[in-house]
């Protein structure tokens, strides 16, 4: 999918959330989209899960600054908690802004942990950016007028294809000026939640993105986010029965290899990618020795840039690319970003749902005493989290 199509897709989704007239236009029937205002309650458990994961990653990243003595940056020597600047890539409708601006501003550690003072968000969708700026103004004004008269930092959202080479050239130019309240000369944190897989059609695109992120961060800065777990994607595509109108047979490309349940759909795109999946499925299925077959399943993999279409009603309706985690780690390492493996920030979180959530009163919305449904677990286990530190 071309950048313009990605922007149009998220414009439509944003309009649907708002219930605006422009949402009445249906997406392609084959992609399962619906018009009109979206019923967000239908995916309330998944939304709460995603929000919790992002909040946890944000707070853990600030904890890392504190534990490593990096809370105070060299150019911020004022008394009180350090003020951090965040670069939010593919910031969407600004749904994470409150998590950033209110992180560690209350409770027993207030005044000790660093706090986020500036958030610069970029997104390819004009509708998303418009909604994010409206939300930002409301959050900041409400905090100032609330009982605690809380002063939050700045939040600005702009339209840009933040995974294109031109974006990083623009960012570097504006960082170099650092005048008139423009983009900071360096960022303390860079986040990309559920979005990096848009940028990785080739190793060159992944490198350009990671190099740009590294250049934007100060030494000790963190790059964190969530991404589709290519290992889990490979395991399902190559070893499980397809769940959409049957699986493709070797040499028969009439039906792409697919995964789905009532919440989401993943469909492999392009003839070459479909051929790869069909060939690998057949190879693994034909291994007669059970131990050898199990070993092959463990090593199931898809190449960097394997294209697939992802549909998640009300959230995603776009083409993406597989990003093997090993490829991400290697690209980051070459750019001067080291993987942080402490805590849970760089672990797959499919089997850690209950461990992370702890007190079940926090997840009553999940129902069933804090358990995600089978379909929700199938969806959430397609993702993993990561956190890298600039050396």
Range from 24-33, 70-79, 95-104, 243-252 carrying the lowest mean pLDDT:
24-33
Nearest to 183 by CA among 121, 268, 99: 121
Could you tell me how far CA 115 lies from the centroid of its own chain?
A: 22
Backbone φ and ψ of 156, nearest 5° = -130, 140
Range from 282-286, 296-300, 324-328, 339-343 carrying the lowest mean pLDDT:
339-343
**Mean pLDDT, residues 161-173 taken together:** 90
pLDDT at 81 over 90: no
Statement: the pTM of the whole predicted model exceeds 0.95: no
Edge-to-edge strands of the sheet including 337-339?
154-159, 115-123, 83-89, 187-193, 217-228, 383-390, 337-339
Taking phi over 0 as left and psi of -120 to 50 as alpha, with beta for the rest, 194 belongs to: left
Q: Which residue has the higher pLDDT, 84 or 257?
A: 84
**Mean pLDDT, residues 77-102 taken together:** 84
- Band (44; pLDDT cuts 50, 70, 90): low
Q: Which residues in 329-344 are b (16+ Cβ under 10 Å) and which e?
A: bebbeebbbebbeeeb
Greatest mean pLDDT range, 4-18, 198-212, 246-260, 364-378: 198-212
- Structure confidence at residue 234 (pLDDT): 94
Greatest mean pLDDT range, 210-214, 234-238, 260-264: 210-214
How does strand 217-228 pair with strand 383-390? antiparallel
- Each domain of the chain, given as residue ranges in start order, spans 3-229+322-366+383-390, 231-312
Tokens for 315? 């959230």
pLDDT at 37 over 50: no
Q: What is the pLDDT of residues 176-197, one digit of tens each?
A: 875 545 788 899 999 999 899 8
Architecture (CATH level 2) of domain 3-229+322-366+383-390: 3-Layer(aba) Sandwich (3.40)
Task: Report the half-sphere exposure of 360 (CA within 13 A, side-chain side).
Answer: 7
Range from 6-15, 35-44, 288-297, 308-317 carrying the lowest mean pLDDT:
35-44
How does strand 316-321 pair with strand 307-312? antiparallel
- Structure confidence at residue 79 (pLDDT): 59
- Structure confidence at residue 280 (pLDDT): 94
Q: What is the pLDDT of residues 133-150, one digit of tens each?
A: 999 999 999 989 988 888
**Mean pLDDT, residues 356-363 taken together:** 40
C-alpha distances in Å from residue 103, one per residue of 39, 59, 110, 161, 298: 29, 6, 9, 27, 38
**Mean pLDDT, residues 232-260 taken together:** 67
Q: What percent of the chain has pLDDT over 90?
A: 40
């Amino acid at each position: 999918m071309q950048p313009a199509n990605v922007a149009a897709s998220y414009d439509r989704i944003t309009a649907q959330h708002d219930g605006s007239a422009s949402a009445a236009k249906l997406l392609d029937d084959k992609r399962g989209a619906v018009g009109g205002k979206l019923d967000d309650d239908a995916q309330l458990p998944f939304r709460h899960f995603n929000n919790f994961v992002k909040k946890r990653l944000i707070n853990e990243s600030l904890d890392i600054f504190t534990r490593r003595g990096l809370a105070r940056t060299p150019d911020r020597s004022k008394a009180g908690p350090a003020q951090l600047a965040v670069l939010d890539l593919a910031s969407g409708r600004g749904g994470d802004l409150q998590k950033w601006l209110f992180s560690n501003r209350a409770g027993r550690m207030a005044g000790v942990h660093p706090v986020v003072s500036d958030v610069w968000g970029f997104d390819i969708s004009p509708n998303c950016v418009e909604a994010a700026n409206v939300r930002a103004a409301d959050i900041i004004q409400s905090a100032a007028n609330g009982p605690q008269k809380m002063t939050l930092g700045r939040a600005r959202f702009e339209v840009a294809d933040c995974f294109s080479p031109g974006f990083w050239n623009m960012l570097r130019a504006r960082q170099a000026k650092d005048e008139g309240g423009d983009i900071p000369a360096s960022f303390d944190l860079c986040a990309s939640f559920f979005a990096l897989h848009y940028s990785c059609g080739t190793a060159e695109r992944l490198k350009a993105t990671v190099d740009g992120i590294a250049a934007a961060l100060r030494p000790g800065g963190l790059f964190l986010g969530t991404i589709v777990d290519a290992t889990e994607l490979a395991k399902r595509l190559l070893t499980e029965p397809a769940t959409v109108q049957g699986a493709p047979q070797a040499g028969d490309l009439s039906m792409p290899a697919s995964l789905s349940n009532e919440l989401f759909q993943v469909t492999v795109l392009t003839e070459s990618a479909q051929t790869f999946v069909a060939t690998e499925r057949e190879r693994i299925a034909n291994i007669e020795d059970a131990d050898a077959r199990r070993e092959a399943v463990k090593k199931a993999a898809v190449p960097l840039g394997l294209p697939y279409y992802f549909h998640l009603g009300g959230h995603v309706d776009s083409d993406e690319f597989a990003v093997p985690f090993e490829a991400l780690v290697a690209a980051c390492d070459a750019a001067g970003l080291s993987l942080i493996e402490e805590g849970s920030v760089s672990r797959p979180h499919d089997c850690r749902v209950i461990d992370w959530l702890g007190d079940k009163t926090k997840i009553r919305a999940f129902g069933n005493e804090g358990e995600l449904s089978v379909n929700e677990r199938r969806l959430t286990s397609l993702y993993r989290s990561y956190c890298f530190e600039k050396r």
